Amino acid sequence: MPDLKSHTDKIFDKELAEVSHRIERMGTIAGDMLAASVRAFNTRNTTLAREIMDEDTQVNRLEKNIDQLCLEIIAKRQPMASDLRFLVLVMKAVVDIERIGDIAVNVSERTMDLSRGALTGSWEELSEMGAIVLSMVRDGMRAFVESDEVLACEVLKRDAEVDRLFVKVFADLIELMGNRPDVINLGIHVQSVAKWIERAGDHAMNLAEYAIFRVKGHDGRHAGRS
């Protein structure tokens, strides 16, 4: 849970709180974009898809802005221990959040393409995947901002289900395209959407891993694979 003890220099507390506030805001915008992009895809809502593409500039601006703020604090304060971990991890987390925003844009672009084609309807597994990934992004963000290790571990556990659904969607689409060569072009777009959403889940996993690193002080990434 968050360290409630304050710094002797109260301005430092305010600076760290500002970083926390900004990354939370960035995460909320990117999460909302992803949610809206999945909704736009399911309903082929091109107006919504276009709005999402416009919102990406906000996320990009916040990424640069947060990086700059962290650089200034590191230069000014030479932070140590949990403060150092927090700032370094924020600078990594903004990259993942920015990528989640990009994924929402990618999904929206595919929605625009699909709206012109004959392949209609939504895939149940794809919607389910979207819902799980969305929960992972939101909870991964919350775990990071609130230093909630338990929630972060929950997020990590959800990825297996995302992977299972992704494999299912992929196989279904291959089968469909085999039977209907006329929709191959559009089927590839849907496969891309599935891949993008699965990737967003990976970025949410990164956020959860940063949360654990922030709390425990050791890097648990790639456990057993490095």
Cβ closest to other proteins, residue 3 vs residue 182: 3
Least distance (Å) between residue 190 CB and other proteins: 45
DSSP, collapsed to helix, strand or coil, labels residue 87 as helix
CB of 90 to other proteins, least distance (A): 16
How does DSSP classify residue 9? S
| Residue 213 Cα distances to 99, 106, 143, 216, angstroms | 20, 30, 11, 5
* Nearest distance from C-beta of residue 205 to other proteins, angstroms: 22
Measured from the Cβ of residue 65, the count of other Cβ atoms closer than 10 Å reads 13
Q: By three-state DSSP, how is residue 80 classified?
A: coil
Minimum Å gap between C-beta 148 and other proteins is: 18
The structure tokens listed for 193 are 């959407």
- The length of the chain in residues reads 226
Query: Helices in the chain by DSSP H: which ranges?
Result: 10-43, 46-77, 81-115, 124-145, 149-179, 184-216
- Which residues of this protein are in contact with other proteins, per CB under 8 A? 3, 5-9, 12, 78-85, 216-218
